[in-house]
Amino acid sequence: MKKFLLLLSLTATVTLGKAQTTAGPAETKLTNALCDCITKLDKSKLKSAKEAKQAFMDCFTNQVDLLPDVAAERHVEFTDHEAMNKIGTDIGINLMKQKCDGFMQLAIKMAEKSGANGDESDEAETKTSTGVFKRVDNKGFNYVVISSEGSEKSYLWLKQFAGSETFMDGTTRLAGKKLKITWQEIEVYLPAAKGYYKVKEITAIDVL
């Protein structure tokens, strides 16, 4: 599945070539959702290829619940790596064919060379994000969703963390509250998509 995501992020660097089979409704829905998410990104704040790829992964993770429908529409299993890689390539081509301007801009940044320390050495570091609490989504696991600078970001509630009790008795009173989320990037298996994905695991939440 990691190769599937990699193909999506690298498609913009290959020639479009001969058009693939016309996309079905589920594939079109996923393509449009990705384009919409990518277009809303503030790309001026993405300073490296690594940050651009992470932004793309975030957009894809937010739409991962649509992927099973695409696989079903193509009549393929998630364990069929060749078929899933083909879907990844086709979705990238779809974004190019529909002239998704946000994707084209992001692809340019993703194609840039990383710096000397731009690999994965700092992926396990703890980071923080702030934003206004929106809701808790259930996509196989619970995700705490906040809004920051006009876009929504999701953070995985995988296990008990500092401040988790605040969310266990209902979240109505948190509406409109500003949160500081401390998180670390991990790779997990998502049952709904039957694959492994990098997600932002919550390690603490403070209500500001």
pLDDT at position 64 over 90: no
Which pairing describes strands 127-138 and 195-207: parallel, antiparallel, or unpaired? unpaired
pLDDT value, residue 23:
78
Question: By three-state DSSP, how is residue 123 classified?
Answer: coil
Q: Where are the alpha helices (DSSP H) in the chain?
A: 2-10, 25-39, 49-62, 67-74, 81-97, 101-110, 165-168
pLDDT value, residue 181:
94
Answer whether CATH 2.30.30 is correct for domain 127-207.
no
- The residue-averaged pLDDT of 121-148 equals 82
DSSP 61-81: HHTGGGHHHHHHHHT--TT-H
The model's pLDDT over 152-163, given as tens digits with 9 standing for 90+, comes to 999 999 888 888
**Degrees, nearest 5: CA angle 58-71-96:** 55
pLDDT value, residue 123:
46
% of the chain at pLDDT higher than 70: 80
% of the chain at pLDDT higher than 90: 20
Residue 199 per-residue DSSP state: E
**Which range has the worst mean pLDDT, 6-10, 98-102, 153-157?**
6-10
pLDDT at position 33 over 80: yes
Domain boundaries, the chain: 2-110, 127-207
- The residue-averaged pLDDT of 15-36 equals 75
pLDDT value, residue 124:
53
pLDDT value, residue 160:
85
pLDDT value, residue 113:
56
Q: Is the pTM of this model over 0.95?
A: no
Q: Which amino acid is at 50?
A: K
> Average per-residue pLDDT in the chain?
78
pLDDT band, very low/low/confident/very high, at 96 (cuts 50, 70, 90): confident
Contact of 115 with 49, CB cutoff 8 Å: no
